[in-house]
Amino acid sequence: MSSTYGENLKLCIFGQSHGAAIGMTLDGIPAGLAVDFDALQAFLDRRSPGQGDWSTPRKESDQPEFLAGIVDGYTCGAPIAAVIRNTNTRSGDYEELKDRPRPGHADFTAQMKYGGFQDAAGGGHFSGRLTAPLCIAGGLCKGWLEALGIRIGAHIIRIGSEAAGGFDPLQPQLDQVGQFFPTLNADAAERFQAAIAAAKAQGDSVGGMIQCAITGLPAGLGEPMFGGVESRIAQIVYGIPAVKSVAFGIGEQVATLNGSTCNDAFAIENGKIVTETNRCGGILGGITNGMPVLFTAAFKPTPSISKPQKTVSLSQMEETQLQVKGRHDPCIVPRAVPVVEAAAAIAVMDMLLGNTQTPRRKD
């Protein structure tokens, strides 16, 4: 199914970039969960455009209207529905892109799949704008998880050739993230912003990488095989446009190590079983071990750049040039940070709702 996620909750994301509205329905949430609308809006604002030199100047309010499922600040058990009106009107700017697809964008594949019936304006259903309703659902879930002691936070660990260190895998510094351009130190933020500015100055864009941590999860969450925590998180994180890699713990580094240097030794700390290191990212056999869950997502550079690019004319079936007009984020990574948190929150909420743990055997 295309735009629907979840085993125990069902999230449907709808809308096109220049359609009447974007929004989401979220079914399967129990009644009685409190909703903090101010905290949710603050979360959504982290994704909003126009927050610095690094993002598109297009200004959207991104204030959701809740149509259903919440009464007097609590979920009522019925599906939650929310919409964000699009204020940008439809324009003819995109007819050209329908004939001359942007390299790196979904213009071409949408044409192949939908045969010309797709909504091409602004990228249609493939627009990064669709991450706003993902953040509505994720922001709600994040709040409910926090009430259970489960915290989620993400930060930028790479922009182009500039890199920075990751979280302490045993104690992720979640208090240091949560703002708009989250890095673990000011130096990294400066270097990253300079890299984005440099790309922008050249009419170009740049990619990057985000690391996300989830703390407070109980040991024993997740299912064997296809229902493992990695499977569930990877499926939804790959639903975020531009993601090309999802890795857990130390990720690809595991391929370079020996068992003796990769395994995380068990130890006892304050009467609780822990691992002394956390290379596995808190997951063994698809199931949480009680340590922080850690994963990274690599984002490709925004495909829409103002530099001329080679493409083809679908109607003429000939090679041609394309220079993308309009204003686009030179780097979507800063705005993608809350989106990654949202995706993680939805995946965790879904798993918790279906979690069946067995009390310890007595005999």
Nearer to its own copies, 20 or 175 (CB): 20
Considering only residues 282 through 341, tell me which ones interact with its own copies, judged by CB under 8 A. Answer: 283-290, 298-305, 307, 309-312, 314, 317-319
Nearer to its own copies, 46 or 105 (CB): 105
Rounded CA separation 32/68 (Å): 14
Q: How far is the CB of 72 from its own copies (least distance, A)?
A: 9
Ramachandran quadrant class, 175 (left: phi over 0; alpha: psi -120 to 50; beta: rest): alpha
Rounded CA separation 1/16 (Å): 17
Q: How far is the CB of 16 from its own copies (least distance, A)?
A: 6
Q: How far is the CB of 39 from its own copies (least distance, A)?
A: 20
DSSP at 302: P
Q: Binding of its own copies at residue 56 (CB under 8 A)?
A: no
Angle between helices 333-353 and 37-45 (to 10 degrees): 140
Segment (H or E) for 318: strand 318-322
Nearer to its own copies, 175 or 325 (CB): 325
Q: Which of 35, 44, 83, 177 binds its own copies (CB under 8 A)?
A: 83
Considering only residues 11 through 30, tell me which ones interact with its own copies, judged by CB under 8 A. Answer: 12-16, 19-23, 25, 27-28, 30
Nearer to its own copies, 43 or 126 (CB): 126
SS3 328: coil
Q: Which of 44, 46, 48, 119 binds its own copies (CB under 8 A)?
A: 119
DSSP at 67: E
Q: Which of 42, 114, 148, 165 binds its own copies (CB under 8 A)?
A: 114
Nearer to its own copies, 186 or 201 (CB): 201
Rounded CA separation 46/260 (Å): 41
SS3 158: strand
Considering only residues 189 through 208, tell me which ones interact with its own copies, judged by CB under 8 A. Answer: 199, 202, 204-208
Q: Binding of its own copies at residue 250 (CB under 8 A)?
A: yes
Is 299 within 8 Å of 207 (Cβ atoms)? yes
Sheet holding 4-5, edge to edge: 4-5, 10-15, 21-27, 80-85, 65-68
Rounded CA separation 147/143 (Å): 7
Which residues contact residue 8 at a Cβ distance below 8 angstroms, ignoring those fewer than 6 apart?
28, 350, 351, 353, 354
Q: How far is the CB of 123 from its own copies (least distance, A)?
A: 8
Q: How far is the CB of 175 from its own copies (least distance, A)?
A: 26
Considering only residues 210 through 239, tell me which ones interact with its own copies, judged by CB under 8 A. Answer: 218-228, 230-232, 234-236, 238-239
Q: How far is the CB of 184 from its own copies (least distance, A)?
A: 17
Nearer to its own copies, 114 or 187 (CB): 114
Instruction: Report the alpha-carbon angle 347-349-355, nearest 5.
Output: 100
Rounded CA separation 261/351 (Å): 31
Q: Which of 44, 97, 188, 209 binds its own copies (CB under 8 A)?
A: 209
Nearer to its own copies, 175 or 321 (CB): 321
Q: Find where tokens 């045993």 sit.
A: 170
Rounded CA separation 352/298 (Å): 26
Nearer to its own copies, 186 or 225 (CB): 225
Q: Which of 130, 188, 214, 340 binds its own copies (CB under 8 A)?
A: 130
Considering only residues 142 through 181, tell me which ones interact with its own copies, judged by CB under 8 A. Answer: 158-161
Segment (H or E) for 28: none
Q: How far is the CB of 45 from its own copies (least distance, A)?
A: 23
Q: Binding of its own copies at residue 255 (CB under 8 A)?
A: yes
* Phi, psi values for residue 273, rounded to 5°: -80, 125
